[in-house]
Every structure is written in structure tokens, then in C-alpha cells.
Amino acid sequence: MTAPYDPSDREKVVAKLPADLRKELKVRAAELDRDIQDAVTDGVGAWLKTKALDVVDTSGGTSFSTYLPAGLYGTLKAECASRKVSYNQGVAQSIRLWLSSNPSPRPKPPRVTGARRIIFGNQKGGVGKTSVSAGVAQALAETGKRTLLIDFDPQGHLTKQLGYELFGIDEASLAKHMLKEARGALGELLVPIKGGDFEEHLWLLPACKDAFLLDAKLATTKAVRIKESALEKALEPLEREFDYIVVDCPPSLGYSMDTALYYGRTRDGEEDGTSGVVVPVLAEDSSADAYDMLYDQIQDLIEDMEIDIALLGFVVNMYDSRKGFVATSSLDQWSSIGDPAVLAVVPELKDQREAVRVKKPLLVHAPYGDQADAMRVVARRISA
């Protein structure tokens, strides 16, 4: 039988849905590794075949956007009119029907190793490492995972982009806790990142103005494993409070980067790929050169410390095929590596630049854009 619509021909649709239904859809889609647009498409298809559905409370609904096949979208609107229900009610019932037909998988046994640790690193600046780490952290938190985002770059771009101030030189900070120079608990320094569907699940540990001194001070520590484990020791008290700890690293080959890589290693009893390193890159040659340096640093640490560090994958950022052969051939080269794989390709759009300008998280400023969707793809793949 010929399908009544072409699945490749999709158009953007917007409805007003309650926040709890939107969040439940995002969480379930992430749990089942489904794209939200495919989940809604399946739900609408089932809704068209099902009568006498319970009314979904859509009061207080806010804007929800996704993509449906053009023919299916028209059919949905016509059937809503036939059933004398609002379009918003039709979409809400479709989503509720999909959720009922696709239950949450049985939860996994709790891990004894603490939070999963995701390290975002690249020795080249300007690849959008900060925007990718922040976007992925937001996407993880959107699914209900308690997520801590750490600005580990002395330049503090992540902290500034989210509208926060760096800690002063005389204040407590992550660097001072790593060097055992701070009083109080590190958890007192965390600030909640508000807005969007991740609210109450995402926190930031801001950068500090004295972090540029960290490498020099770590270099004077000669005891085996002490300098490499400094970040882990500082963050250890927080691990039981979070599902994910995401670290935005400096573009550096120094000791600070060693501490982050060591923190992201595979721990004893931890399944391979649970924690590890994500490498944001550009579709051009200088990113490949920078990755070679990072790879060598990782391999040296693996050999020297006798540990395993998982490379979780690449994120090809700010990609624009209109740049021609350099961009397209470079993307092909990243994809051809195979292991690690390309987790997602983030298109070159204005969304992230605008979010930085207005000091808002990407998934608040443009939650339904292609860049936000790419962040969710990365979050799904590293959490699978």
C-alpha cells in the first residue's frame, strides 16, 4: 500500500502544550533513543486510528514546535475539526497516546561509581567547545538528569555567556579547592541555571580569575598521581548529587588538561564509554592538527598512568556545506575515522551567537532550532 504522505517531506508545526507533557515527551524519547519528531509522527498516526480518547489538560500550555510530514499534518487538522476538538488537544492526545504505547524502559541498577563524567576538550580555540558543552549539558538536564556544568577554562567564556560573574582572585574557587587553599564546601559555589525544560536540573560551577595560575602550581607537585587527581579530589564530594558532570576544558596541553582527562577516565568497575572525552571540531584542517595533539596527550596519560580514557566521539560544529570542498571533504574525513564516531553535526546558524549576545542558554533562546536538536542528539548518544 502506498503511504499517504512522504516521510521526507516535513513541515514545521507549532502547538501549545503543558510543560509537564513536553518534558515527559523529551525524557521518554531520550530513554528510547527516538527523535521527538518521529515519536510525535507515530503518535499522530495512532491517534488517527483511535477514537474516544481521554481529554488531556492543556491549560497553561506554552509553545511546542516539531516537524510532521506535510500530508499527515493536514490530515491531523482535518480530523481535529471532524472530532470537534482543538488542534492543541489533538496534538496533546497524540503525544499521550505515544507515551502510553512506549513505556519507560526498566531503570538500570544504580552505579556505584558516581556521576558520569563528560570532558569536552580540544587544543584549538574557536571551535565552539564552550557552546557545545553548554548545549549538551542543557540537553542532558532536559531529560531529568541532574547535571553539573563546570567552566574549567581560565578565560571564563562559559560563565560570561550564561550571564554570571567569574569568582575573584581572593574568593573561593574550583582552582583553590584543587590546590587545597579554600575553606568551605565546593558545593556552596554552584549556581542554578534557570529557564527552559531543564530548570531545577542544571547547575554551573563558574570560572575563577586565578585559574591561569593553576598549571604553574600543579607543576610544582611531584608526587605520583597527586596533580593528575587534583580535579577528581575536589569534585568527589559533589558526585553523589549529580547524574552527569560536564567539564568545559581550556584549549591547553598543560597540567589542567591532564587533570580533566584523568577525571574522565574509565574507573574500576565502570563500563567502558560511561565517561570519557567528547571532541568538538570544525570541518577544516587546523582542527585535525589540534586533535592529533589532544590524542597524543591522551595516549601519553594512558601509558604513564596505566589507565583507560574513552574517546566518546566528535561533534562537528558550525558546519556549512556552502563553504565548498574544504568543508564537505573535511566532514567526510571526520566521519571516515569511525572510532571515535561523529556524534552530530551542528549547523552554522545564528541561534548560538544570539544566545551568547543575550546571555541565555541556547535551549532557552532557540529550543526548537536545528542547533538545539543537534545538542539533544549528542546527549542521547553519550548517555545511551
Q: What is the pLDDT of residues 222-257, one digit of tens each?
A: 554 567 889 999 999 999 999 999 999 988 778 889
Determine the Cα–Cα distance for residues 163 and 361; give it in Å rounded to an integer: 9
What are residue 224's phi and psi, to 5 degrees? Answer: -60, 130
Average pLDDT score, the chain: 89
What pLDDT was estimated at residue 221?
Answer: 64
Helix, strand or coil, per DSSP, at residue 185: coil
Count how many Cα atoms sit within 13 Å of the Cα of residue 263 in the half-sphere of its side chain. Answer: 32
Mean pLDDT of 96-118: 79
**Contact of 32 with 88, CB cutoff 8 Å:** no
What pLDDT was estimated at residue 113?
Answer: 54
Amino acid at 76: L
Residues whose CB is less than 8 angstroms from the CB of residue 335 and which lie 6 or more positions away in sequence, other chains included: 341, 342
**pTM for this prediction:** 0.80
Q: What is the dihedral of CA 82, 87, 89, 95, to 10 degrees?
A: 110
Q: How sure is the predictor about 211, in pLDDT bands with cuts at 50, 70 and 90?
A: low
What pLDDT was estimated at residue 2?
Answer: 39
Mean pLDDT of 279-286: 87
Mean pLDDT of 20-36: 90
Calculate the alpha carbon distances from 33 to 46, 122, 197, 335 in Å: 20, 27, 18, 21
Q: What is the DSSP string of 66-134?
A: EEEEHHHHHHHHHHHHHHT--HHHHHHHHHHHHHHHSPPPPPPPPPSS-SEEEEE--SSTTS-HHHHHH
Q: What is the pLDDT of residues 181-195, one digit of tens each?
A: 888 999 999 999 998
Calculate the alpha carbon distances from 270 to 33, 111, 222 in Å: 22, 8, 28
Mean pLDDT of 17-23: 88
What pLDDT was estimated at residue 8?
Answer: 58
User: Which domains are present in the chain?
Assistant: 10-101 (1.10.1220.10), 116-383 (3.40.50.300)
Please state, for a pLDDT cut of 70, what percent of the chain lies above it: 93
Structure-block grid coordinates of residue 345: 553535526
